[in-house]
Amino acid sequence: MLPQEIEVWYIIPSIRAELVKFMLKDGLKQREIAKKLGLRESAVSQYVKKKRGKEINLPIRIKKQIEKSAQLIIKDKKNPSHEIQRICRLVRKEGTLRKIRHSLGYKCEHCGVCSK
């Protein structure tokens, strides 16, 4: 499995789940969250019920960044797609992607993620 597939299947759903959690905590309704994040209400419901984005647990330092992103998205100061991409870059930079990839049983010597 390519590192990008790990991001799509595990990391991005986990980031979205955290965004939803922080936005709910801030008092937004699921319908408002869906609109702000560009998701369907049913997807937000699945994040709330932990049917999506539950496979991995992101480090606290990443969750703190997601919480900051949630606040900026709520205030319409940042684009959710840009914030998710920023968090993905942070996950790669800090080595979290490599740790997650290894925890899922994937490792190769030439992918540029595992060989670092």
Q: What is the pLDDT of residue 106?
A: 80
**Amino acid occupying residue 71:** Q
For the chain, the structural domain boundaries read 3-103
Q: DSSP H helical segments within 38-95, as ranges?
A: 41-48, 60-74, 80-93
Q: What is the pLDDT of residue 110?
A: 66
Query: Do 78 and 84 form a contact (C-beta atoms < 8 A)?
Result: no
Q: What is the pLDDT of residue 38?
A: 96
Q: Can you tell me whether residue 77 is helix, strand or coil?
A: coil
Residue labelled with tokens 């790990």: 6
Question: What are the pLDDT digits (tens) for 22-64?
Answer: 999 999 999 999 999 999 999 999 999 999 999 999 999 999 9
Reference 2, options 115, 107, 95, 83; nearest CA is 107
Q: What is the pLDDT of residue 105?
A: 86
Q: Rounded to two decimals, what is the model's pTM? A: 0.91
pLDDT band at 104 (very low <50, low <70, confident <90, very high): confident
